Amino acid sequence: MATHANDHYFVPNPVLYPAILSSGVLTMALGFILNVNEKMAAHGLGKWLMIAGLLVICYMTFRWLSSVVDESLTGKYKAWEDKSFRIGMITFICSEIAFFAAFFGALFFMRIIAVPELAEIDPDYTMYKEFTSAWPSLGPGGMSMSADGLKEYVQPANFQAMKPWGLPAINTALLLASGVTITWAHWGLLKNNRKQLIAGLFLTVALGIAFLICQGIEYHHAYTEMGLTLGAGAYGGTFFMLTGFHGFHVTLGTIMLIVILLRSMKGHFTAEHHFGFEGVAWYWHFVDVVWLGLFVFVYIL
C-alpha cells in the first residue's frame, strides 16, 4: 500500500442510478407479492409491476455498468482501484457460495436427518406405517400446508429420480469444457492474441447456451414424463431449487460473457488491464464448481 500515498483514489461523481435501481427493486418486489397472492384485490396488476420493475433494474444496471466501462476506458482505474474490484468480486462470490450452501444444507438435512427420522418413528405409534427411509424420497404423504390452506399432497404416481449419466453428464462435460475455453481465452488476452480471446469467449458462450438448452430439455422431460416436479417431495424441491438457481446463475454468467465478448470485439481490455474479463471468468468458474457439487450430490449420490 505504501505506493498509494501520492495517488488519488478515484471517487465517482454523484449518481442517481443506484436510487432508481432500488425503486426498480421495490416495484418488482411489490409486483411479485401481488402476483403470487390470488386473494389480493390488485392481483392482476402484479405481473405488470414485475415487468416494469425488471425493466428499470435492467436499464439501470446497464447504465451503471456502461459508466464503469467508460471510466475504465478513460483510464480512471489504476492498480489501486483495480485491487478494490478484485477483493470486492471475491467477497461477492463468497456470498453466492453461502447462498448455495443454504440449499445444499437443506438437501443434506432432509436426506440425512428428516426423512430417516420420519421413517424411524417408534413403530408402535408411528403415523407412517409403510414409509421407509430411502433416497430419492417423496415423503410419507398426508396433508400439507401452503398460504392458500391445507392441501392433500398427491404424490406423483410415475415418479422417477433424474439419472446422472444422460443429459446431466453431458452438461458436466459442457461446463468443464467451458472452463477450459475461458482459460484459453484468458491466455489469448495475456498474449495479446485477440483472435484467441474472441474465439475462446465465443466458444464459452456457446457452451453456456448449450448447457441451458440441455437443462431446458431435462426439465421438460422431468415434468412431462418422470413425475419429477417442484412439488415432488423432498427430492423434487431440492432438485429444482438447486439446479434451478444454478441455471439462473448460468444465465447471468452467459449474459456477462456475451457482454465481455462484445467488449472484446470492440477492442476493450488489454493484457495488463482487464478486470472486467477476469471478474466474469471468476464468476464462471464459480458456477462451474457449483455444478460439480450438484452433479455429485444431487445426481450421482
Partner 1 sequence: MSATTTAHHDEHHDVPKGMMRWFTTTNHKDIGTMYLTFSLIMFLIGGAMILLVRAELFEPGLQLMKPEFYNQLIGVHALVMIFAALMPAATGFANWMLPLQLGAPDMALPRLNNWGFWLLPPAAVLLTIPFTLALFGIGDGAIATGWTFYAPLSVQGGIGVDFAIFAVHILGISSVMGSINVIVTIFNMRAPGMTLMKMPMFAWGWLITAFLLVATIPVLAGAVTMLLTDRHFGTHFFDAAGGGDPILFQHLFWFFGHPEVYILLLPVWGFMPQILQTFSRKPMYGYKAQVYSLIAIGALAVVVWAHHFFTVGMPVPALLYFMYSTMAISLPLAVLFFCWIATIWKGSMSFETPMLFAVGWIILFGIGGLTGLVLADVAADAQYHHTYFVVAHFHYTLFAGGIMGIMAGVYYWLPKMTGHMYNETLGKTHFWLTAISFNLTFIPQFFVGLAGMPRRIPDYALQFAEFNAISTVAAFVLGLSQLVMVYNIYSSVRGGKKATNEVWDGNNSLAGSGGLEWTLPSPPPYHSFTEQPVIK
Partner 2 sequence: MVQSTFKRLALGLSLLFVSMFAYADYTWNFPKPVTPVAKDTLHVHNFFMVIVMVIFVVVLLIMIYSIFMHRKSRNYQASSFTGPSTKSQLIWTLVPFAILLYIDFILMGIPAYNSIVMMEDTKQNATMVVKITGSQWKWQYEYMSGEAKGIKFVSNLTTPIAQIEKNSTVPKNVDYLLEVDNKLVLPVGEKVRVLLTATDVIHNWWVPAFGVSRDAIPGFLHETWLNIEEQGVYKGQCKELCGKGHGYMPAVVEAVSKEEYKVWVAAKQEEMKKAESGADREWAKDELMSNGKVVYEKSCAVCHQVTGAGMPPMFPPLTGSKIATGPIFGADGKYLPDSHLDRVFNGKGAMPPWKGSLNDIDIASVITYERNALGNATGDLLQPAQVKAAR
Interface with partner 2 in residues 109-128 (CB under 8 A): 117-118, 121-122, 124-127
Contact yes or no for 131/118 (Cβ under 8 A): yes
Among 168, 233, 247, 276, binds partner 1 (CB under 8 A): 233
Restricted to residues 2-21, the positions that interact with partner 1 (CB under 8 A) are 2-6, 8-19, 21
Nearest distance in Å: CB 180, partner 1: 29
Query: Site map for partner 1, 173-212, x if CB under 8 A?
Result: ----------------------------------------
Tell me: does residue 66 bind partner 1 (CB under 8 A). Answer: no
Residue with cell 483495480: 82
If you ran DSSP here, which 8-state letter would residue 272 be given? S
| Collapsed DSSP state (helix, strand, coil) of residue 128 | coil
Nearest distance in Å: CB 42, partner 2: 15
Q: Which residues pair with 149 in a beta bridge?
A: 146
Nearest distance in Å: CB 149, partner 2: 3
Nearest distance in Å: CB 103, partner 2: 21
Please identify, using beta-carbon distances, which residue of 200 and 237 lies nearer to partner 1. 237
Please identify, using beta-carbon distances, which residue of 64 and 202 lies nearer to partner 1. 64
Among 45, 69, 106, 210, binds partner 1 (CB under 8 A): 106
Query: Where are the extended beta strands (E) located within 124-172?
Result: 142-146, 149-153
The sign of the torsion formed by the CA atoms of 174, 176, 180, 182 equals: positive
Please identify, using beta-carbon distances, which residue of 60 and 115 lies nearer to partner 2. 115
Query: Site map for partner 1, 124-163, x if CB under 8 A?
Result: -------------xxxxxxxxxxx-----x----------
Restricted to residues 53-82, the positions that interact with partner 2 (CB under 8 A) are none
Gap between the Cα atoms of 215 and 171, Å rounded: 8
Tell me which residue of 163, 154, 170, 117 sits closest to 136, measured CA to CA: 163
Tell me: does residue 150 bind partner 2 (CB under 8 A). Answer: yes
If you ran DSSP here, which 8-state letter would residue 127 be given? S
User: How many residues are present in the chain?
Assistant: 301
Nearest distance in Å: CB 34, partner 1: 9
Percentage helix, strand, coil for the chain under 3-state DSSP, each rounded to 5: 70, 5, 25
Please identify, using beta-carbon distances, which residue of 26 and 180 lies nearer to partner 1. 26
Residues contacting 69, CB < 8 A, separation 6+ = 263, 268, 276
